[in-house]
Amino acid sequence: MFSLVLLSGLANCAVPSLDDNSFFNFVNQPGASVIKFYMTDCRHCVELAPTFYKLSELFDGIDGLRFAECNIDDAPQAQEHFGIEYLPEVLWITPLSSQPLKYDGDKSLNSLVDFVNMGAENIQF
């Protein structure tokens, strides 16, 4: 499990935006990727965005763990490959795993932290 230390004034961590040209290269790197799929006009996606960015800041610097977001309008192949039907969708993806781990919780930071920790415990990377 990743040890999580909450600090005030966390550095602003950049979350890259992926499209079909960059998506599979990103997720096939060694380690684990936590990807948020979204659409710009999705109200629930907009509500999740600040929490997802905070999540990426909390785990910034953990070797082998990276965060990104993917607008499905820019990545229809990735959307189809992972069967994304509902938004927002957060996946834990490793190149060694045949199936990603899907987040199925509320939009709270604590629940998302638990999801990342669960992925680290249950999936080899």
Task: Report whether 96 contacts 124 (CB < 8 A).
Answer: yes
Which H or E run includes 11?
A: none
**Assigned domain for 27 exists:** yes
- The verdict on residue 116 lying in a domain is yes
Q: Phi and psi dihedrals of 87, rounded to 5?
A: -125, 150
Q: What share of the chain is helix, strand, coil (3-state, %, to 5)?
A: 35, 20, 50
pLDDT at residue 75 in the model: 97
Residue 38 structural domain: 17-100+108-122
Count the residues in the chain. Answer: 125
Is 1 domain-assigned?
A: no
60 within domain boundaries? yes
- Identify the weakest region by mean pLDDT among 23-27, 62-66, 119-123: 119-123
* CATH number reported for the structural domain that contains residue 66 in this entry: 3.40.30.10
Q: Would you state the pLDDT for residue 86? A: 94
Mean pLDDT of the chain: 88
At 96 the pLDDT is 79
Structural domains of the chain, count? 1
pLDDT tens profile 39-87:
999 999 999 999 999 999 999 989 899 999 999 999 999 999 999 999 9
Cα–Cα distance for residue pair 90/110, rounded to 1 Å: 14
Residue 6 in any domain: the answer is no
Residue 68: inside a domain: yes
What letter represents residue 35's amino acid? I
Residue 88 lies in a domain: yes
Task: Reply yes or no on whether the pLDDT at 13 is more than 70.
Answer: no
Assess if residue 9 is contained within a domain: no
